[in-house]
Amino acid sequence: MSRVSSTDLPTLSEIRAALVEAGADRELLRLVDSSRDAEEAVDRLSEAGVVFSAEESVEEMLDDFAQLLEPGITPLGVELFGSEFFAALANGVAEDDFPAALASLIEGVEVVGDERALAMLRVLAALAPPGGARAAAEAADRLVAAGVRNPSWAKEVGKPAVGTCFGYADPVGAQEGIAITFAYGRKSHAVVVLIDHSLGGGVKDCFVSDRPDLIQAGYREAAEQLGTAYVEYSPDEARARLERALGNDVCAEHPDQREDVHLSMALLCQRVSLLSGSAAVPAATVHRLKITLGGSKPPIWRRLEVPSTITLQHLHQAIQEAFAWEDYHLWVFSTPVGEYGPRSDRELGHRSAATKKLSEVTPEVKARLLYLYDFGDNWEHRIVVEDVLDAEPGVAYPRCLTGKRAAPPEDCGGVHGYEHLCEVVANPADPEHADMLQWLGLDSAEGFDPAAFDLAAVDERLAKRAKVLVKA
């Protein structure tokens, strides 16, 4: 019959289910049912001869870790898997017994000595408490020295760059939310924590999000609705708050909260440890944007590089300069987290563009947003993030790299009106030809060239708003 593993550390219900599936007799089931916890049940079953060998148990776990060797897995994916593994490992083990159980596991895994074993040891080195992490790292290094190949993510896992930390509390101070953000390259994520002071000040909920921008927007909105402050913390301030919460008992009330906290706890503790002494000053970056006038044929577009931290208000001004608009009319940005215009307008559902940074609404390459200028002519600009780059020393941003075709003049009736204008100006026999030239302020059609694009003129207009981000 199948045997139950003492090193798998299953729950009582899992032990009983395994015995039932294996066809165990009533006497064995009574041993489990009368046990106070999983550890006592395993001891009783061991005395009855129902136990896996350590070798069999380690092999089962390593089979699960084989998925971390598949192509395409990310460092964060590895850590999420590892955090859930730690949650399973802790089931049924007293806190005081956990270091010994972890040390025994590391020994058994090193003996196997294959790529699965090395993957598990790298995960343990990244997420285990300090003593266990050191032992796992040393065992992993010994396997590498013996010729076992590191997984592709080995050098990155557990070492993300620290980003912004922010939060808010309800007006009476009963609960507070804190989000700490990190990045692997250009891919950011946030560990989001809810602390409940009315229930003892412990962690009430915790989860990981790959959209820190949405979490930040949600926190700002919640703070505004509650009439409380949205706060950006230094990493040390965030760490102090989270360590206080982790020093108290978990206070999750609902089953989904308890599961979230249980599965995320190892990753949360690891991320909090990264906050100590971190300056959290990311390198100055710029967003490379391609901005195309919707419906234009042939396409009218500009390629700009702007500071990633530019506000949408200032991005509006840069687009005005790039397309030679004159800022006569209303405008709005439509983003994944809401609409932003010249000012907050509840009736239109617009928030102030001065309060939102470009990096908060389009944090990643291929992100998109729309910019609508002149609600009458309806000039829709389609914006795509082509790249996010380190700012070049001595270069002033925003700047224009290239573009195609002249921008339409103001108030010419939108895309279709502009097409009509081009046809009329190109045809001296058209009855409207003279009037159209007069409207354009031109003496002849030679002064009107829809195909023209003057990069130097665009950059000259942008220069009055440009700043050097990194000194040469």
**Residue ranges of the chain with per-residue pLDDT less than 50:** 1-9, 51-56, 279-282
Q: How far is 62 from 75, CA to CA, in rounded Å?
A: 18
Q: Please give the radius of gyration of the chain, using alpha carbons only, rounded to the nearest integer.
A: 30
Tell me the CATH number of domain 285-406+451-468, given options 3.30.2290.10, 3.10.290.30, 3.40.50.1000, 3.30.465.10. Answer: 3.10.290.30
At 280 the pLDDT is 43
Per the DSSP assignment, residues forming a β-bridge with 307 are 286
At 17 the pLDDT is 75
At 52 the pLDDT is 44
At 174 the pLDDT is 85
Its pTM stands at: 0.54
Q: Cα 150 to chain center, whole Å?
A: 26
Q: Any idea how long the chain is?
A: 472
Residue ranges with strand state E in 264-412: 285-293, 301-307, 331-335, 338-341, 350-352, 368-373, 379-390, 396-397, 399-404
Q: What is the DSSP letter of 345?
A: B
The domain locations on the chain are 12-145, 161-274, 285-406+451-468
Q: How far is 84 from 395, CA to CA, in rounded Å?
A: 46
